[in-house]
Amino acid sequence: MTYATVLLHLDAHPRMNERIDYAARLARRFESHLVGVAAAGHSLFGMSVSTGFSGTDSLAAAIESAHVAEIQRSRDFLERVRTSALTSFATVVEDLDDLDALTRRSACADLLIVGQADPGWPNGARARHLLDQIVQQSMAPVLVIPHAGDFPSVGSHILIAWDGSRGAARAVVGAMPLLQRADKVGLIRCAPPAELDRGGEAAELDLPREWLARHGVRIDARIEATTVGVGDTLLSRAADRGADMLVMGAWGQARWAERLLGGATRTILSSMTLPVLMSH
């Protein structure tokens, strides 16, 4: 298995070059076609037309400025990738907003790489909302790169968060090319101590262990008792094990429950310390 086509979201974050380098390393490893996607946000123009503000000079200037900025990001991407020894790459500037552009293209891609929302960035709030929507709507698995930190290795030591859910299973399928090439793969299931006291939980790990073994992936599978949030436990165990990637399902329960209970997905998206491959 491989990633034949990899998409990279090109935004204005100051660490965009680091994301490009990470995506290029991954694409080079899998001999992928890497596509940088810049979105000029012209769908906003249509909204402005319908609300009667399309004729203002300021709106026209804003649209033109956005288009020029995306073209420059596209050029910057090409210039940097050309030095990476990657043999197959391209860039596109979409006349759509970011979500529409990435969702449309994800239907014909094997992996989508995006950046974590940076709360210290002027566009941080919008970026966080966009990231939530991308993870939910992408038709390809989404690999989220933290807004801080250096990540020289790509999936050499992977930790899988397993709860038997649809999202977790889809995330593992989406990560399979990486899992098959990893030097080390761990799998953990987080559960409260009271649940573990009932016994029999270890047998739950036999199914994913056997499934992955048939794909040539040997795992160290364990159950972790936790009295804190699942997201915090996952990040702690990833650090303890020296993992360079986390694989997990996104929003395994209803979004209203996530908001009320403080779900693992929300914790990870806010506090991630390593790249995280997610699938909804």
Domains of the chain listed by start with CATH number: 5-145 (3.40.50.620), 157-279 (3.40.50.620)
Contacts of 172 (CB under 8 A, 6+ apart): 160, 162, 179, 208, 212, 247
How confident is the model over 218-244, as pLDDT tens digits?
999 999 888 778 899 999 999 999 999
Residue 90 has pLDDT above 90, yes or no: yes
- Looking at per-residue pLDDT, the higher value among 192 and 104 belongs to 104
pLDDT class of 246 with cuts at 50, 70, 90: very high
C-alpha dihedral (253, 261, 256, 43), degrees to nearest 10: -90
pLDDT class of 36 with cuts at 50, 70, 90: very high
Percent residues over pLDDT 90 in the chain = 67
pLDDT class of 57 with cuts at 50, 70, 90: low
In the sheet where 220-225 sits, what is the strand order? 89-94, 33-39, 5-9, 111-115, 142-145, 276-279, 245-249, 157-161, 184-191, 220-225
- Looking at per-residue pLDDT, the higher value among 216 and 226 belongs to 216
Residue 54 has pLDDT above 70, yes or no: no
- Euclidean distance between the first and final Cα of the chain, in Å? 21
pLDDT class of 95 with cuts at 50, 70, 90: confident
- Looking at per-residue pLDDT, the higher value among 83 and 57 belongs to 83
pLDDT class of 160 with cuts at 50, 70, 90: very high
Q: Let me know if 83 is exposed, middle or buried by CB neighbors in 10 A (0-12, 13-18, 19+).
A: exposed
